[in-house]
Amino acid sequence: MEGERNLEATIEQLLNVEKQMRLAGDVAGTKKAATDILQLCFEAKAWSTLNDQIVLLSKRRGQLKQAVTAMVQQAMQYIDETPDIETRIQLIKTLNNVSAGKIYVEIERARLIKKLAKIKEEQGLIAEAADLMQEVAVETFGAMAKTEKIAFILEQVRLCLDRQDYVRAQILSRKISPRVFDADPTKEKKKPKEGDNIVEEAPADIPSLMELKRFYYELMIRYYSHHKDYLEICRCYKSIYDIPSVKESSAHWIPVLRKICWYLVLSPHDPMQSSLLNSILEDKNLSEIPNFRLLLKQLVTMEVIQWTALWNDYKDEFENEKNLLGGSLVEKAAEDLKQRIIEHNILVVSKYYARITLKRLAELLCLNLQEAEKHLSEMVVSKALVAKIDRPMGIVSFQTSKDSNEILNSWALNLEKLLDLVEKSCHQIHKETMVRKAALEV
């Protein structure tokens, strides 16, 4: 009791000092008096009094911005020293309420909310943690370090993915431009001009830009895996593969390169997939995993692939993927792999045949008639292929239908070729006649 009275008396004295300094406009004196009061409460472990004094000091008439900033920063150092989780939450909430709406402590408020969200997540309240984090728009904070901004947004994205809010996760992820990770860290920072905001240094616990790059693409892989967008997953792994720290060791880049190969094979055929496929085939590192080089080589070769033989060769590799870095492939990946091989085979057949019977097509695809017709129809609907099926005759035609302009152009071209042949023939006849006449005259 006596200790409490002494504390109250000392605080009362310091409050009077703080008032005098504040009214006199003494910034340094006001800051010192305010932080001394908080220090006394902390040393006495009077957590309830500490909260009360923070609120009281911040609400005093004409309180200086510098004093409020100093108090919030001072009290933030006490958060990890609190005796229990309830006291910690109460202190964070007090500081959060004090800093709410004050632009000069917006960075401190963002850090406080991040701490509170972490506590909520540890308690299993992921939805509450995600809602807390979404309140803060750090991209508007001019004084916050770039890496801290990125780390904060990535935490927002992660919590949204954890609560399976994929729409909001995509919206938040678009706040980060992938080009920000390509910045050269060796370049010297420009000195701020007079009047510009001074950017604070990132805290020690914030990862480096390259670590954040990997974390960003790992989160995007989680997002695209939900939508089974194989090509985007592949591009994310390609970005991870290009990180210098990954390329340093084969133990790091081999699992990533395997994932790139798998998702390339799983991706539907289009110009982007074809371009990426050819660029990966030119990578010298692919020689370290010859099985996957052979797999990609089969895709660029215009030959029919036997699904059963392919699956027997790669089944063990497919099942072993779950034990490697990055985890197993998405659900139904095996079914989609078979679908891609069938699509490849149909494209190969369309290159070699103008017309083919449906029965022969089914034999080449190792499918029955109904399945062959189904896969062919799906490709036509998705506009990956142009084909027509004459079902009564059982004939598939891969010839593209021409419009009137194309037909007229082809006729004009044929007529030009015909006239050219006639002219050459006349020339040859005239030449032969002249040779004959010359021989008779002699």
303 residue type, one letter: E
pLDDT score for 193:
54
Q: Hey, where are the domains in the chain? A: 1-100, 408-442
Rounded to 5°, the CA angle 356-361-228 comes to 125
pLDDT at 95: 86
- The end-to-end CA distance of the chain, in Å, is 146
Q: In Å, how far are 402, 406, 421 from 413, measured between CA atoms?
A: 15, 10, 12
pLDDT in tens, the chain (442 residues): 555 667 778 877 888 887 888 888 778 888 888 888 888 888 888 888 888 888 888 888 877 888 888 888 888 888 888 888 888 888 888 888 888 888 888 888 888 888 888 888 888 888 888 888 888 888 877 778 888 888 889 999 999 998 888 999 999 899 888 888 876 655 545 555 544 456 677 777 788 888 889 999 999 999 998 888 889 999 999 999 888 888 888 888 888 888 898 899 898 888 888 888 888 888 888 888 888 888 888 888 888 888 888 888 888 888 887 777 777 777 788 888 888 898 898 888 888 888 888 888 888 888 888 888 888 888 888 888 888 888 888 888 887 666 677 777 778 888 888 888 999 999 889 888 888 887 766 5
* H-helix or E-strand spanning residue 313: helix 307-320
pLDDT at 195: 47
Rounded-to-integer distance, Cα 409 and Cα 402, Å: 11
The reported pLDDT for the residue numbered 188 is 47
Q: Compute the distance between CA of residue 130 and CA of residue 161 in angstroms, rounded to an integer.
A: 9
390 DSSP β-pair partners: 395
Q: Is 274 exposed, middle or buried (0-12, 13-18, 19+ CB in 10 A)?
A: middle
Sequence-ordered strand ranges (E) for 1-152? none
Q: How is 44-61 classified by DSSP, letter by letter? A: TT-HHHHHHHHHHHHHST
Pure H helices in 65-105: 65-76, 85-99
How far, in whole angstroms, is CA 240 from its chain's centroid? Answer: 10
Give pLDDT, residue 81: 81
As a whole number of angstroms, the distance between CA 102 and CA 109 comes to 9
Residues 225 and 233 sit within 8 Å (Cβ to Cβ): yes
Contacts made by residues 312-317, CB under 8 angstroms, sequence distance 24+: 317/258, 317/291, 317/292
CA distances from 280 to 199, 244, 258, 260, 287 (A): 40, 17, 11, 9, 11
Report the pLDDT value the prediction gives residue 190, as an integer from 0 to 100: 55
CB atoms within 10 A of CB 436: 10
